[in-house]
């Protein structure tokens, strides 16, 4: 009897969180760095399916940087990044689009649907979900086919997310003349969360959150303010792939997104641990 009651208590404890987030949009960014083991990916998909079935509206934006690098490597094309953004020439763009929209997007959709969800895989080209123009040079470097977002098709995303579907979005945008743009997935997640006025924006990556010393797990910040983050960037303590994440969090918070979090996507069930507990896990970024 005891063990059954314990289970009942656990479910009842989730009630206030479910009530607070019922019908609300939650944008989750699943980074390539966290896509390490199939069984962990499976647990993340379970979390997302659960959110949907208790009445929240999750939207998943995925990355895939390591898989793109792997494919480029097999084609003898050298990856090149400036401040976490991939310099994307025409040959690289073809690989980016193929890997993100053809491989990773469909693998994720198949996993969600295998759990009974109705996931729908799209990239920014489909239904003009992400319109973009060529991004300006970064630190004096021309980024090639990297895009800067100009608009998000909120009508289509809302229609799907408020219905039975879980939109799964690959970060490829489209220009006015049908050209494709490579856009960092963190930036896409931030822009979608902002455009939809999401209640939560969650980044799943391969570290516990923001650390004051990148290699020291003990230096994890549970809360990071805008001032903390700007100082850390100035001091060179936030670098590479963490830069677009914190920039997206700050911009989203400033424009009305409820909460932003950076979590470890390489532990089991990080989303449930964040959403259904008071203390949460990882770093919460505040304005
Ligand atoms: N201050 C910091 N705290 C934690 N991670 C950091 C920090 N600065 C840079 N990083 C790096 O950011 C990486 C996560 O970004 P990235 O590799 O692009 O992942 P994703 O594929 O999830 O976008 C971490 O593995 C870490 O090496
Ligand atoms: C412009 C730019 O950098 N685009 C990224 C898009 C994928 C991505 O963001 O993947 P992660 O989330 O795994 O890093 C890239 O080409 O790697």
Domains of the chain by range and CATH?
24-285 (3.40.1160.10)
Looking at ligand 1, which residue's alpha carbon is closest to its atom 11? Answer: 242
Tokens of 254: 């400033």
- Which ligand is located closest to the Cα atom of residue 143? 2
Would you mind telling me the total number of residues written for the chain in this entry? 287
pLDDT at 279 over 80: no
pLDDT at 19: 96
The rounded Å distance from CA 246 to ligand 1 centre is: 10
- Mean pLDDT calculated for residue range 245-256: 97
pLDDT at 278 over 80: no
Average pLDDT, the chain: 96
pLDDT at 55: 97
pLDDT at 211 over 80: yes
* Feature table: binding site for substrate: 64-65, 86, 182
List the 130-134 sheet strands across, edge first: 147-152, 130-134, 172-174, 180-182
- For 1, 7, 70, 142, 261, the CA distances from 76, given in Å and listed in that order, are 62, 53, 10, 21, 36
Residue with tokens 């936030």: 238
pLDDT at 128 over 90: yes
ipTM: 0.98
Looking at ligand 2, which residue's alpha carbon is closest to its atom 12? Answer: 63
265 lines ligand 2 (CB under 6 A): no
From the alpha carbon of 265, which atom of ligand 1 is closest? 22
| Confidence band for 287, pLDDT divided at 50, 70 and 90 | confident
* CB-CB neighbours of 102 under 10 Å: 12
Q: Is residue 283 a contact partner of residue 210, using CB atoms and an 8 Å limit? A: yes
Strand partners, 103: none
Looking at ligand 1, which residue's alpha carbon is closest to its atom 12? Answer: 242
Segment (H or E) for 14: none
86 lines ligand 2 (CB under 6 A): yes
242 lines ligand 1 (CB under 6 A): yes
| Burial letters 163-192, b for 16+ CB under 10 A, else e | eebbbbbbbbbbbeeeebbbbbbbbbbbbb
pLDDT at 268: 95
From the alpha carbon of 143, which atom of ligand 2 is closest? 1
pLDDT at 7: 86
pLDDT at 9: 86
- Mean pLDDT calculated for residue range 121-147: 97
Q: Reduced to 3 states, what is the DSSP secondary structure of residue 88?
A: strand
């Amino acid at each position: 009897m005891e063990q059954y009651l314990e289970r009942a208590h656990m479910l009842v404890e989730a009630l206030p969180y479910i009530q607070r987030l019922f019908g609300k949009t939650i944008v989750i960014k699943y980074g390539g760095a966290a896509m390490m083991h199939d069984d962990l990916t499976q647990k993340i998909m379970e979390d997302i399916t659960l959110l949907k079935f208790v009445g929240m509206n999750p939207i998943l934006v995925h990355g895939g940087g390591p898989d793109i690098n792997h494919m480029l490597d097999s084609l003898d094309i050298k990856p090149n990044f400036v401040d976490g953004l991939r310099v994307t020439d025409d040959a690289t763009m073809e690989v980016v689009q193929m890997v993100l929209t053809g491989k990773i997007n469909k693998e994720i959709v198949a996993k969600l649907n295998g759990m009974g969800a109705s996931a729908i895989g799209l990239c920014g080209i489909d239904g003009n979900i992400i319109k973009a123009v060529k991004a300006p040079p970064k630190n004096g470097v021309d980024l090639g086919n990297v895009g800067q977002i100009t608009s998000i098709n909120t009508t289509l995303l809302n229609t799907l997310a408020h219905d039975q579907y879980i939109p799964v979005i690959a970060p490829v945008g489209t220009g006015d003349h049908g050209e494709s743009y490579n856009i960092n997935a963190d930036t896409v997640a931030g822009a979608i969360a902002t455009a939809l006025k999401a209640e939560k924006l969650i980044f799943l990556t391969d570290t516990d959150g923001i650390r004051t010393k990148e290699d020291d797990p003990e230096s994890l910040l549970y809360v990071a303010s805008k001032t903390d983050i700007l100082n850390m960037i100035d001091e060179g303590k936030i670098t590479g792939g963490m830069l677009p994440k914190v920039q997206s969090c700050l911009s989203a918070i400033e424009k009305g997104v409820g909460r932003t979090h950076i979590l470890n996507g390489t532990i089991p069930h990080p989303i449930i641990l964040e959403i259904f507990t008071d203390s949460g896990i990882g770093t919460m970024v505040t304005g």
